[in-house]
Structure 1
Amino acid sequence: MRSWPRPDIPALPGHGSAPRLHDDASGRFLDSAAGVEPGETATLYVCGITPYDATHIGHAATYLAFDTLVRTWLDAGLDVLYTQNVTDVDDPLLERATATGVDWRELAASQVELFRTDMEALRVTPPDSYVGVTETIDSIAAAVAALRARGMAYAVPTPDALDPATSDWYFDIAAAEQSTPWVLGSESGLDQSTMGRLFAERGGDPEREGKRDPLDPLLWRAERAGEPAWDSVVGRGRPGWHIECSVIARETLGDTICVQGGGGDLVFPHHEFSAAHATALTGERFARVNAHGGLVAFDGEKMSKSLGNLVLVSQLRAAGSEPDAIRLAILAHPYRDDWEWQRGDELLAAERLAGWRASAARPASDELSAGLDDDDALALLERVRTRLHDDLDTPGALEQFDAWFSTPHSPASTALAARILDALLGIRL
């Protein structure tokens, strides 16, 4: 699947260091690229959209957070290999297509294109591999077959399947815990009660008759009437949600990656079980760091299509908001925090950006024009690198520019400050 054009990222003097990130599995701050030396490759997998409500501010906040990670890795002298999926066949997409009378493939294609356009406008670094689930059906089915052969998948009778001889296939948590390094909760760090609640809220089916454990997740759904399906080694049907990401990540990045990322609503069950599936197939820990962004609310509720409270990047842009101002408004919040978008946030960010631009455009004094304060910009660079090293503290980094642009500087120093802002935070003066 095609992604979007890569933005130009200016080179900066010297190198920063790979940031520490909060790891949800351990609850500790860990080196995001532990063991990866300059010139070597850091690997990142970020779950992509289910394409039916792109691109709202919550989406944008997630991808800007991990864009900041990519930029800091590049600034640390690391090569980066980044994969993002597109869940281009799934229940929410099919339900939206049915409700709107649009073919699910057309709906997915249109929303993916809108997402690409928004990401390009926001100057988000594209993934090296941008992979749709529908492009990976055979590999996913083969992974389910491998889990079945290892005794970690089982069939559940499916009387409503189009072919009565086919069944749904489920992951066996107990079997996986007995024969792999993974145990339930090891990736999310959550207790049993919380996992049970979230499983029911986020697409799980704890009441499904015939399951061995209420939390066992679906691996493969047998074909139902009116649903898309593919022939495969495990019968005609389509993949479950979690196995998709484990397969796409391993095929493009390898068995163990540096960081698995996404929105906070993916901690459980999605990232718990996608990591479990990968570990069950390889015997290796899937990701060294599990990092997640906070959730964004609007009008007092988490943004969702069902509530009708989406703030869309495309709508803000169509109303005249500059993408750099939208980016600044989002990066003003710590990426791990839940927060609420307020009406006019993009206008306040535009005022802040305009102030920086006005300061940068002011004529310098003769002394400053001689470049006597060039070292100040190098000091700014180190302060910004320090803030981003600390769990991608973008609000703290932006405050460094507030202070910088409050006083005059030489043209050369101002030019370097602008490059720092562009390279590390993706905002152009």
Structure 2
Amino acid sequence: MSTLVPGEGAALTTDGSVAAWTDRYTGAVMDTFGPPQRVLVRGEGAYVWDADGTRYLDLLAGIAVNALGHAHPTLTAAVSAQLGTLGHVSNFFGTPTQIALAETLLRIAEAPEGSRVFFTNSGTEALEAAFKMTRRVPTSDGAGTRTRVLALEGAFHGRSMGALALTAKEAYRAPFEPLPGGVEHLPFGDLAALEAAFTPQAVAERGEVAALVVEPVQGEAGVRPLPPGYLAAARRLTRAHGALLVLDEVQTGVGRCGTWFAYQQPEVGSGIVPDVVTVAKGLGGGFPVGAVVAYGDAARLIGRGQHGSTFGGNPVAAAAALATLGVIERDGLLANVREVGTLLRQEIELCGSPLVKEVRGRGLLLAVVLNRPVAPQVAAAALDAGFVVNAVAPDAIRLAPPLILTAEQAADAARFFASLQPAQFPEDPA
């Protein structure tokens, strides 16, 4: 198998074993991720194949990215057609795909009149833009702007300096401190702590709150949904105190939880309207694209010249996103997420393995919680058995498969978990 290297007339072969490619990887790619678990060469639907020809059921989808699975014909055709027509123009110009995508995002977000979209290339960049928006929130007296931002313990919002300041994990933060200031991390799901952050005493000591930035389901912390009522209370408090409610739906958006955005589920958001929503991952179905949806007055917080992105909203990325959203609507994939997600959850919960404690999450963003901290060993066993999963926490396996996952494929996954026995996975392998 080979593909043409543009401009060189030479072929890049994909022939070679996983071991051979891994050796080349470690000699050429910066060591930020460690050696690859496998070297993958192709995909189709919910399956991928490695360089040795082994097939895997992809239950991770590039960490909630490949919403339509791999090599979806509508997506590949849209990207190819757009790249063959107009690939990039810079933001001195608009394109029909960019404009249509912005309009589509506003529609599915049910955003009120006056709302607007800013395009990025990734979730981290979307959070970076949202963070800059928080710096434009005026103080109550109108004499200045606020700099105090609330986030939650366990939060993951990205690794650029601004997004990293919002991220709670100390191992990510410590090597790069000092980070942008003003961020406070509150206990996860603790309404009393959230209310205390807005008291007159807290404001007198630390200033007015500019924003609360929160994930409806914390993905990197082990797929932890916020407790019922939390977002409704957060909306009430932020609105009462003139602060923004920023929802990070980078991982939970684009149908991942069974609705376009997780906050749209009554049991999650209770009908709230946020000020800002960030989205990426599944938006382009595998093509890099992200966005900030600013609702109503929040759309005017950043003006001309105050932010930008060379590649943000380029026509190819916009075409990929339009195709992805179009297929989700056309093929009823939101309903599929709800139905197959429920089936997957139930079958794993009832699988009978003494190693499986519970399943938590929403739609097709789930964590299989284990009775002991052996998730890395279980993930390795899954890969050997032909399943791609992720050890997102010491005791939790993350599942974020393509939205096209079938009931039969969900049953296959459940059978793997049913086969797990504690004796296979000692807590101290040594």
Q: By the TM > 0.5 criterion, same fold?
A: no
Q: Which TM-score band (shorter chain)? A: under 0.3
Q: Which has the higher strand share?
A: 2
Larger gyration radius, structure 1 or structure 2: 1
TM-score of the superposed pair, with normalisation by structure 1: 0.27
- The alignment's TM-score, normalised by the length of structure 2, stands at 0.27
